[in-house]
Amino acid sequence: MLYTSTRDKSIRVSAAQAIAQGISEEGGLFVPVELPKFSLDKISSMVSMSYIDRAKTVLREFLTDFNDDELNYCVEGAYAASKFSSPEIAPTVNISGNKNVLELWHGPTCAFKDMALQLLPYLMTVSAKKTADGKTIVILVATSGDTGKAALEGFKDVDHTKILVFYPVDGVSPMQKLQMTTQEGGNVAVCAINGNFDDAQSAVKSIFTNNEIKEELEKKNMMFSSANSINWGRLVPQIVYYFSAYCDMVDSGRISLGDEINVVVPTGNFGNILAGYYAKQMGLPVKTLVCASNSNNVLTDFLNTGTYDKNREFYTTSSPSMDILISSNLERLLYHMSGDDDKLICDLMNKLSADGKYTVSSDVMEKIQQMFDAGYTAEDKVDETIKYQFDNYGYLCDTHTAVAVRVYDEYVKNTGDDIPTVIDSTASPYKFSASVLNAIADEELDGLDEFDMVKELNRITGVEVPAPIASLKDKKVRFTDVCDREDMSNMVFKLLDL
Ligand SMILES: *Cc1c(COP(=O)(O)O)cnc(C)c1O
């Protein structure tokens, strides 16, 4: 299995190269040259397997330069039962009738990013051993909350890696901040910066390309890499859970082998739903992929009209992990749907950076619309949906999941297409306690801190508080550094002992 770039299809790299490198040199994203195909027989053989074995079965086809020992080491390390609050790792829970929820938040940080970021450090260290002489990998992350914590937890105490996370000092929730500043591990560091997320992000980008720092790293046998979702190593673990959910649906008798399902995904950077697309192309019986957005509905408009236009108001919503106007992974879909037209992708991406918009031809859009549907949930409908689901079905969902549930209900209303469906649930409701509590509580809630809200939510709903959130209160704060944007590179020197 070889990988090429969306912006230069003459490129050929191995999986290990794609993962160690992160992004192709000319700025394109790595994609598989050809997808492996899974027959119904093969899917049938996965029904009785554990999550770990299903993961090995799928990943073996993509990581053909990893031997069995390496693959076993990676997958068994990432999805060890001790790290997940569900023995099934990612359970598929029935809400009512044909409506099911795939819970992707049982990992150590209670958000779906764990599904990929638990595995990525293993893939990256094995890849570096193969392609970069065992250099120590230094992961730099600028985060608006979820990614930083999930990356810290994933890379914590992984040999030959160090991780530095920068977050905007006033730009994350109190719970997210506490999750990061109490992070354990001998190879981690966290620093707040005076500025917003964009400041943190652009400073990290400039450190990545700073030659002085790179040379210093080189001397110490270290190299930078990135843990954000354009890395193929973050996408490939996500293909697994679509196969796993399908197998669980078969295993529990909710569908028969070969039946089609619909999949609904609360979408931001388009990584999660793209993994669903890959699963479909590999032969998983998925009929429609429904892309759910919040008020930042740039993808809804694109999938309905063919014009992507990020020149619009940016909303700060109660589903912050979907507050995004440039969905990087869409580039991969456009590459595949245009028949590997790398020139077209260069042209579209140039237009996006110059004008903030582009339009895709009607034949490409026709292909996309055969597989994808799209909708969005306005902010005032999120609370209503959380309350409705809880009152009527006893199912408590977070704000991101509620966005998807609402879009799905509208989809069924508009199309009548109510075949068995899996809705991705991307965060524990306790990660967004304030919003969720507000949605379901009858009285006004004043003067409660984060932990009071967790307690109150638990009292009202009886839903168990995940251990990583329950234990946060007693953790010691380890990281209190705050620096200015201009001092971030000095901070990198200091934290890495350069
Ligand atoms: C990152 C995230 C998303 C969006 O996923 P993409 O792969 O970026 O589309 C949705 N929900 C939560 C809770 C997230 O953390």
Q: What is the pLDDT of residues 347-364, one digit of tens each?
A: 999 999 899 999 999 999
Q: What is the mean pLDDT of residues 168-176?
A: 84
Per-residue pLDDT for 229 more than 90? no
CB 332 within 8 A of CB 31: yes
* Alpha-carbon gap, residue 169 to 164, rounded angstroms: 15
**Angle at alpha carbon of residue 40, lines to 35 and 45, rounded to 5°:** 100
* Alpha-carbon gap, residue 225 to 47, rounded angstroms: 36
Q: What is the mean pLDDT of residues 314-337?
A: 92
Report the range out of 181-185, 444-448, 471-475 with the highest average pLDDT: 181-185
The partner residues of 191 in beta bridges, in order of sequence, read 166
- Please tell me whether residue 8 adopts helix, strand or coil conformation: strand
Helix, strand, coil % over all residues of the chain, rounded to 5: 50, 15, 35
Ligand 1 mutation pick, 176, 272, 399, 403, max ligand atoms within 8 A of CB: 272
Cβ neighbours around 67 below 10 Å, total: 11
pLDDT of residue 389: 97
* Alpha-carbon gap, residue 378 to 381, rounded angstroms: 6
Q: What is the number of the ligand 1 atom nearest to the C-alpha of 270?
A: 9
CB 335 within 8 A of CB 31: yes
Per-residue pLDDT for 365 more than 80? yes
| Residue 149 CB less than 6 A away from ligand 1 | no
Percent pLDDT > 70 in the chain is 100
Q: What is the mean pLDDT of residues 313-341?
A: 93
Report the range out of 52-56, 196-200, 214-218, 470-474 with the highest average pLDDT: 52-56
Integer-rounded Cα radius of gyration of the chain: 22
| Residue 118 CB less than 6 A away from ligand 1 | no
Q: What are phi and psi of 169, to 5 degrees?
A: -60, -35
* Alpha-carbon gap, residue 497 to 70, rounded angstroms: 31
pLDDT of residue 230: 86
Percent pLDDT > 90 in the chain is 79
Per-residue pLDDT for 194 more than 80? yes
Q: What is the number of the ligand 1 atom nearest to the C-alpha of 324?
A: 8
Q: What is the number of the ligand 1 atom nearest to the C-alpha of 400?
A: 11
CB 268 within 8 A of CB 327: yes
- Take atom 1 of ligand 1 and give the residue whose Cα is closest: 321
How far away, in angstroms, is 349 Cα from ligand 1 center? 22
User: Sorting pLDDT into bands at 50, 70 and 90, what band is 176?
Assistant: confident
Mean pLDDT score of the chain: 94
Angle separating helix axes 399-415 and 433-440, nearest 10 degrees: 60
Q: Beta 307-309 vs 357-359: how paired, if at all? A: antiparallel
| Residue 38 CB less than 6 A away from ligand 1 | no
* Alpha-carbon gap, residue 340 to 337, rounded angstroms: 7
| Residue 111 CB less than 6 A away from ligand 1 | yes
| Residue 276 CB less than 6 A away from ligand 1 | no
Query: Cα dist. 224→239, 313, 339 in Å?
Result: 26, 34, 33
Closest CA to 472 of 186, 192, 185, 177: 177
Ligand 1 mutation pick, 197, 322, 330, 377, max ligand atoms within 8 A of CB: 322
User: Sorting pLDDT into bands at 50, 70 and 90, what band is 21?
Assistant: confident
Q: What is the number of the ligand 1 atom nearest to the C-alpha of 268?
A: 9
| Residue 317 CB less than 6 A away from ligand 1 | no
User: Sorting pLDDT into bands at 50, 70 and 90, what band is 134?
Assistant: confident
| Residue 267 CB less than 6 A away from ligand 1 | yes
Closest CA to 274 of 29, 14, 478: 29
Residue type, 233: G
Q: What is the mean pLDDT of residues 435-460?
A: 91
Output the CA torsion sign for 186, 188, 192, 193: positive
| Residue 427 CB less than 6 A away from ligand 1 | yes
CA 9 to chain centre: 26
How far away, in angstroms, is 388 Cα from ligand 1 center? 23
pLDDT of residue 265: 98
Q: What is the number of the ligand 1 atom nearest to the C-alpha of 398?
A: 13
pLDDT of residue 267: 96
Query: Cα dist. 335→60, 222, 379 in Å?
Result: 24, 33, 32
How far away, in angstroms, is 303 Cα from ligand 1 center? 18
- Take atom 14 of ligand 1 and give the residue whose Cα is closest: 321
CB 362 within 8 A of CB 279: no
The pLDDT tens digits of the residues spanning 27-46 come to 899 999 999 999 999 999 99
pLDDT of residue 133: 78
Letter string b/e over residues 303-339, b meaning 16 or more CB atoms within 10 A of that residue's CB: beebebbbeeeeeebbbbbbbbbebbbbbbbbbbbbe
Q: What is the mean pLDDT of residues 461-469?
A: 95
| Residue 322 CB less than 6 A away from ligand 1 | yes
| Residue 107 CB less than 6 A away from ligand 1 | no
pLDDT of residue 414: 98
Per-residue pLDDT for 144 more than 80? no
The H or E element spanning position 287 is strand 286-293
How far away, in angstroms, is 400 Cα from ligand 1 center? 8
Query: Cα dist. 148→132, 171, 197, 428 in Å?
Result: 25, 13, 12, 17
**Angle at alpha carbon of residue 454, lines to 451 and 458, rounded to 5°:** 145
